[in-house]
Amino acid sequence: MSRVLRPLFLGLLGLVWLAPLYLLLVNASKPMAGYVSDEVWKPLADFALFDNLADAWERAGLGDAVVSTTIYSVLGPAVAVLVGAALGFAIVALRLRHGFFWFVLVFGGTVFPLQMIVLPLFVGYAEVGLYDSRLGMILVYVAISVPFSALVMRNFLGGIAHQVFEAAVVDGASTWRIFWRIYLPMSASALVAVFILQATFVWNDLLLGLTLSQSDEVRPLMTALTGMQSTYGGSQLPTVLAGGLLVSVPTVVLFLSTQRFFTRGLNLGQF
């Protein structure tokens, strides 16, 4: 009986999981005049997905937002991963004095919810001139990505035998060369896995984008997308759904193209 019930139960769970995706695709493909809120489950013969995508791109001004969000999603996590790897290397390989204290100090940044620091962060950014600037957005994304990166890289590098570091020192390698040429290549899978997770978080961020940006050239994608649903000049639901589908494609492509590294990093990185 279990051989029959288990596939049936898993199949039902799969259908439930795929239901929101079905609703997104069906309703994003409907023409404006054909959308009826009482018939969201019913597909229409008229296929208007590409027209809705073009309309969403134009209405939300996604061109500048795509460029800005790509910069944030690449630079922020990349710098954070390197900083986290350097901290893990200092604690594990260099045996940094009071290393656990420094690690707790860095990881302590995750103790308070992000919503608690939004107001002082906004005031501080306004006072130092970082508000509504790409540099300010990159800095805050680096700061919020470092603690998790430090946690994962410290755990991963802790699994590398310390004799590797000692052998490299005996061979005359400098500390920088050991870190750059030995430890980083050995932890490539963990680096990629952490980068993917943090890049996805930055790409999907809404709160920081709403708080710390205003202009079209600086604001991230999700912030630009919410402008389509504003009280003044709001778009119809098929256009909004098409915009949501459009901005979700890069993260899907990222996961599919790097799934081999991501899976290996999950297996070896001790998450």
pLDDT band at 268, cuts 50/70/90?
low
Check: CB of residue 62 under 8 Å from CB of residue 247: yes
Query: Greatest CA span in the chain, whole angstroms?
Result: 74
- The mean pLDDT of the chain is 83
pLDDT in tens, 227-263: 776 544 456 778 888 888 888 888 888 877 777 766 6
What is the DSSP code string of 180-241? IIIIHHHTHHHHHHHHHHHHHHHHT--HHHHHH--STTTS-HHHHHHGGGSSSSPPPHHHHH
Q: What is the DSSP letter of 46?
A: S
Q: Say if residue 206's pLDDT is above 60.
A: yes
pLDDT band at 2, cuts 50/70/90?
low
Q: What is the pLDDT at residue 77?
A: 93
User: What are the CA-CA distances from residue 263 to residues 74, 79, 154, 210 (Å)?
Assistant: 20, 22, 19, 33
Please, what sign has the CA dihedral across residues 189, 193, 194, 199? positive
Q: Indicate where the chain has its CATH 1.10.3720.10 domain(s).
A: 53-268
Q: What is the pLDDT at residue 265?
A: 59
Rounded CA-CA distance 134/97 in Å is 36
Residue with tokens 């893990």: 88
Range in 20-34, 77-91, 137-151 with the lowest mean pLDDT: 20-34
Can you give the pTM of this predicted structure?
0.83
CB neighbours of 128 closer than 8 A, spacing ≥ 6? none
Domain 53-268 has CATH 1.10.3720.10: yes
Rg over CA atoms, the chain:
23
Range in 30-34, 92-96, 204-208 with the lowest mean pLDDT: 30-34
pLDDT in tens, 58-94: 776 777 888 899 999 999 999 999 999 999 898 888 8
